[in-house]
Amino acid sequence: MTTLRKHIDAHFDEELFRVKERLAIMGRLVELQVRAAIAAFLQRDAKRAAAVVEGDREVNQLERDIDEHCVRTLALRQPAGSDLRFVAATLKIVTDLERIGDLAVSTARQSRSRDDVSLQTFHRLSELAETALTTLRTSLDCFLQGDAARARTVIAADGQMAKEVAYLTADLGAEMTREPALVANGLAALMVAKHIERMFAHATNIAEMTIYTTSAQDVRHIT
């Protein structure tokens, strides 16, 4: 009986490892999508924007693959405790990653809404995106490693992105007031900034799932 139990546990551990592996791959792909989308917008690069749109197919396929693997694991292994919470959290996290991918596509498409003239505030979009991507990488690492302490530091920083976007919005408004001809560019930049803010929120959700998985504590919507 003990031998059988070890055999079953070994297969289950292997399945969980594969889930983690696919989740890490999806996270890296989404990060690449966001970087390409920001570059496409700032450089008004139609070819790169089209590549981001096309790349979303792979993001969506990874979401389906991981979902199917998790559902199959729930049905066949009937995990309990932290293993069950890990699988349940993974199902939520792939949705967050897929939505970040969708926001990358929307960002890339905003490159068609602007002309060749750059606003002074454009460079700050790259800085905001880097903050969001750093949070994404950290949150996903915390989840895959079960690092609740580090995840709490990510959650504690929530709210700073909203402030930065608010500052950028005010500066963009002032710049558009001074140069009415730049209104289209300014509105496109505002949309991208809002997309980045949502990316950050999805990344923070992943950190929250780490707390849930490791301690069964639901910290969502706690202020």
Assigned fold of 2-215: Methane Monooxygenase Hydroxylase; Chain G, domain 1 (1.20.58)
DSSP 3-state assignment of 142?
helix
DSSP track, 41-96: HHHT-HHHHHHHHHHHHHHHHHHHHHHHHHHHHHHHH---HHHHHHHHHHHHHHHH
Q: Which residue ranges make up each domain of the chain?
A: 2-215
- pLDDT tens digits for range 94-138: 999 999 999 999 999 999 888 888 888 888 999 999 999 999 999
Q: For the chain (length 223 residues), average pLDDT per consecutive 10?
A: 48 84 96 97 94 97 95 82 90 97 97 84 92 96 94 88 93 90 91 96 95 76 52
Which tokens sit at 105? 């596509």
Which tokens sit at 6? 């070890």
Query: Distances in Å between the alpha carbon of 100 and those of 118, 205, 217?
Result: 25, 12, 25
